[in-house]
Chain A
Amino acid sequence: MISKHAHFESLYGAVLLGEATQAERDEYARHAAGCALCAGEPVDGALLAAIASMQAAETWRPSIDRRVVTRIRETQSKRSRFTVGLLGWAAAASIAVNVFFVTGFAGRVGSAVFDAMTPPAPVAATQFGVRLPAQTFATVKRRALAERAVVAENHVARASVRRHHVAADAPLPQRGPVRRQPPASGVPDIFAGTDLAVHAANAPRAVAIESHPLNFSP
């Protein structure tokens, strides 16, 4: 909703532009007769006519068709260069990805990344052996230093468990003085009460030493 005077401004503009009807011209004339702002305003549109005549007086004839066409062609060649370049890069990337997977390098890299992200599994040592972490690609993969240390520890632990296992089945003979074994039941202990009793290991030699030949007189 425009104000009352804004309406007459619009009417005055229509009069200047030659778009007003006769009724609108009369309405504006009645308003201008009693309005201090609009009184005395020319309604012939001479100023607008002067502006319109400026175009007829102009002699400047710019020609930009070559510039526009050149710019369009440059844009097209840029787009085609970009497209060709993009296709080239896509082909190169495709070949690289193929080589990456065909040579098995992708598997090794994936395994290494997986191992790096996964914490090492705890080694459970038992009396009869050592449970080692799963060794996927054990023959082809390059082990990291930390993993090598874990494997070395596993070997040491397994060797010690083996030794412990052997000792449990057949204990090693004890060093030091060997106690004489008591004779089987029913057999008389001929060494009982003698010095030989404490030298059971040397019993045959002791017998030879301690025994005396019998002297039979003729």
Chain B
Amino acid sequence: MDNVYVLGVDHALEAEARIERLVLDHQTKLARYVRRFVNDADLALDVVQDVFFAAYKMLRSDPSRPLSAGWLYKTATNHSITYLRKKKRRGETLPLENATTAFRTDEQSATSLDLQSALATLGEEQLACVLLTTYAGYSSAEAALILGTSADAVRQRVCRAMRSMRKTLGESA
């Protein structure tokens, strides 16, 4: 029975094994990144789960396809942007003072909370550029590849995001 070959089963098993490795390697960093993006821990877990499931579906159809962390961040960013836009369309706004409920008590330093509140005021594209380049540690060129834009556009968005955040932090202070 060792050599029994069933069409599709080996692909599924290979994809499952690769996904398990991907999940173990990237789940924590990806979930934290998404939590910063959407400001909601539970939603971040759902988004990350969707990202890994999308990766599984892709690997099931083509197990030999290379799958990098950049693809995971790109998919997670797109899912998060979609969620934030839906939330805006529905008119759901989370007050800044409540935006900190997504974080644990030991993570809620004053600086961190202020920064998170300032980040929450940014637009989706600026937020993605800032989080990818500073929080996730990608260069502007890598972030441009992930976001499907140019490195110059990423740097400009970082520049404008910094100005906006300074203004927000200055006003709140």
Contacts and interface: CB of A to CB of B under 8 A. Distances in A.
A48 B162 contact: yes
A2 interface: yes
Interface stretch (B61-69, B71-79, B81-89, B108-116): B108-116
Contact of A69 (B20, B106, B130, B134): B20
A17 B44 CA distance: 26
Interface of B: 12, 16, 19-20, 23-24, 27-28, 31-32, 35-36, 41, 44-45, 48-49, 52-53, 56, 103-104, 106-107, 109, 111-112, 115-116, 119, 130-131, 133-135, 137, 139-140, 152, 154-160, 162-163, 165-166, 169
Nearest to B119: A51
A2 B32 contact: no
Nearest to A6: B156
Contacts of B109: 57
Interface stretch (A8-16, A84-92, A100-108, A113-121): A8-16
Nearest to B55: A68
Contacts of B119: 51
B24 A65 contact: yes
A216 interface: no
Contact of B134 (A51, A57, A62, A63): A51
Interface in A37-54: 41, 47-52, 54
Contacts of A55: 32, 135
B135 A9 contact: no
Interface residues of A, number: 37
A43 to B, nearest CB: 11
A96 to B, nearest CB: 28
A75 B154 CA distance: 38
A64 interface: yes
For the residues of A in contact with B, the DSSP-based class is helix
Contact of A51 (B16, B41, B135, B156): B135
A170 B160 CA distance: 119
A61 interface: yes
Given A54-B115, A62-B45, A65-B20, A13 B27 contact: no
B134 A52 contact: yes
B159 A62 contact: no
A13 B23 contact: no
Contacts of A54: 36, 112, 115-116, 135
